[in-house]
């Protein structure tokens, strides 16, 4: 077994499968929860977009979406 130094040459290539898994897990958690919600800053009338929750779009409102990502 070959030892690879952290952040040395070949480090990213050695960890590529793990990076893909982590990115996939974040995608499974974030994409189905995206919406166009807004929250108001207290004591102001300014509304700031918040992309979790709220009204969902036509493509990501399907509850079967995480299962489709998993397959």
Whether 33 maps to a domain, the answer reads yes
Span 9-60, pLDDT tens digits: 788 888 889 999 999 888 877 777 777 788 899 999 998 888 777 777 777 6
Q: How far apart are CA 56 and CA 10, in angstroms?
A: 41
Whether 6 maps to a domain, the answer reads no
Q: What are the Cα distances from residue 39, in Å, to 31, 47, 51, 55?
A: 20, 5, 10, 13
Whether residue 71 has pLDDT greater than 70: no
pTM exceeding the 0.85 threshold for the entire prediction: no
Whether 26 maps to a domain, the answer reads yes
DSSP class of 58: S
Question: In sequence order, what are the beta bridge partners of 47?
Answer: 40
**Cα 1 from chain centroid (whole Å):** 34
Give the pLDDT of residue 42: 92
Give the pLDDT of residue 37: 83
Residue 26: how many CB atoms within 10 A of its CB? 10
Whether 5 maps to a domain, the answer reads no
């Amino acid at each position: 077994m070959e030892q690879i130094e952290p952040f040395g040459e070949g480090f990213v290539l050695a960890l590529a499968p793990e990076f893909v898994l982590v990115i996939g897990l974040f995608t499974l958690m974030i994409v189905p929860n995206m919406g166009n919600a807004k929250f108001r800053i207290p004591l102001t009338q300014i509304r700031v977009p918040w992309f979790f929750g709220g009204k969902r779009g036509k493509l990501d409102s399907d509850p079967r979406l995480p299962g489709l990502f998993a397959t």
